[in-house]
Structure 1
């Protein structure tokens, strides 16, 4: 059976996608997944454009219009060349073949209290260990974005935020994957967000040296961090922590990069006074943008 691909950026595409989804065949599910990814990529592209300041006297409505058309064409080309990997995840779920992951806390005990896991931005000893142990997650920003995107997309959807916000935060916390905390035996803790192991955490733990800010001054400490069995668990735990803790209520649903970063800092995610500024710069930066585009080629 040949399924004709509708134009993902056509206003009538939603009706076409609904029609295809009712067929519930592998071919139709593949088409639905690709179209949904293309539409999602367009939303991400628009969010990134909106976060960039206007061009002042050189900007105009005409410029924005033609830039929008160029972005739509770019998104369609990216989708045709394989997209960002989200379509494959959606297709597996539609076909009922996605591997069902048990909840993290079914494996590691009951969930911690909502506010447990308060953590601070750190520069851990893993940064020094990475050259000896080998790159634990990626060799480049492009590879980091490509591997993180599918899991980030699912976690971001549960929080109502753009997935590149989460990719950017993981990049900030781990130096684009090169400084992930290690367990005592040298294996990866898979902790992409440097979430600490508070009193209520009943899972595995990895210790690492971190820099905390007390009264505005950096202080070096050895802290206990959560350790996971996979990067998927790390994203799921992050989404659960942010989604359940009242102090992070302002994070959920954020579509503005600066608003997202400030809400995290105001909720106490990091003690670094410059954390929000650093995160916003990565979200709006060329490195992340280049990684998103390159990983889709």
Structure 2
């Protein structure tokens, strides 16, 4: 015996079964899903019949039996026919496929459309008894409190340890360069929006992975990672070195002053400030979220005189962990960098 909503759905002009179908969905999801899938199948068949009729309309032109009234009754027949075809045993198989697919998305139903025994339909299905506290609970609470109070001491110890071990003035390997400087770049990147990878890649190019840092007299460190020169507007410390610049495509040695910083983080921050304060790098910063475009626009804006500057940054950046580029492709400490206001 079929449900009343199913019986009503056998006639396409009867829409009163909708509320009954909603009520059935709350008590018998499997039957409701099967009925909805069957009705969808009938709509699909109806559209298919409509397309078939439309394809044959060209043959009924100038036929005195072809009128609006005959088309109306034909459409009524097709609608009822689609319901009847979908209601036959198996139908086209579309409804069964929909039931199998949608059953997986209905809470409490298995792939076959059966209700799961472990599914909780209402709050009344859940166990509301109060669990008995464990005898070990007081000891566990004391242990948690002890660990919570000990944590700040551990954190302070780690912080003091890091302060006591400053970053090296030179780096022995690309691995060490990335491991030590990437966290610093990430802190600055969080404020500037520039991808930290492109900053590390450019710093690696400028310093030969930290092996050729710019230094002043007596090997005094400059911590200058980006080859930014010190012009008349720079109020901080500086160091003078011999650098290589490309003039009309030819490398030439020149003496130039470069900015010096108290640490690497100051170098990263001044690099961002340098770009932001210079109008010619406005288009570069607009591509901060596209590191490869950023590298090319940096060269186009004249940051360095090396014609391969942007390509070298991209090669370093796209290597595994910024470390697969051979050391021969990185520049010497002068790096052909203009980096002037």
- Give the TM-score of the pair, scaled to structure 2: 0.45
Measured in 1, the distance between the counterparts of 2:314 and 2:321 equals 13
Q: Does 1:269 align with 2:272?
A: no
Shift in CA distance, 250/157, structure 1 to aligned 2, threshold 3 Å: farther
Q: Which has the higher contact order (CA 8 A, sep 6+)?
A: 1
Counterpart contact for 2:238–2:260, Cα < 8 Å: yes
The residue that corresponds to 2:318 in the other structure is: 284
Distance between the aligned counterparts of 2:300 and 2:324, measured in 1?
Answer: 29
- Matched with 2:275 is 242
SS of 2:217 mapped into structure 1: coil
Output the aligned Cα RMSD: 2.8
Q: CA deviation at 1:290?
A: 6.8
Aligned counterparts of 2:240 and 2:321: Cα–Cα separation in 1: 30
Number of aligned residue pairs: 165
Alpha-carbon deviations, 1:253-279, whole Å to 9, x = none? 423332011111122210111111111
C-alpha spacing 1:290/1:213, structure 2 compared with 1 (3 Å): closer
Aligned to 2:252: 219
Greater Rg by CA: 2
Q: Deviations over 1:119-159 (max 9, x none)?
A: xxxxxxxxxxxxxxxx8321111110111112211222233
Q: Where does structure 2 lack aligned partners over 5 or more consecutive residues?
A: 1-146, 326-341
Question: 1:258 is matched with which residue?
Answer: 292
In 2: Cα distance, 1:157 partner to 1:248 partner: 19
Aligned position for 1:188: 221
What residue in structure 1 maps to residue 182 of structure 2? 149
In the other structure, the counterpart of 1:176 is 209
1:160 maps to 2:230 = no
After TM superposition, where is structure 1 displaced by more than 6 Å over at least 4 residues in a row?
A: none
Deviation at residue 187 of structure 1 after TM alignment: 1.6
* Ranges in structure 1 where 5+ consecutive residues have no aligned partner: 1-25, 31-87, 93-98, 100-134, 292-297
The 8 Å contact of residues 250 and 263 in structure 1, kept in 2 or not, is answered as: yes
Q: Does the CA-based 8 Å contact 1:136-1:179 persist in structure 2?
A: no
> 1:257–1:284: 8 Å Cα contact kept in structure 2?
no
| Aligned 1:1-297 pairs, distance under 5 A | 136-252=169-285, 253-286=287-320, 288=322
Asked if the contact 1:158–1:239 (Cα under 8 Å) also holds between the matched residues in 2, the reply is no
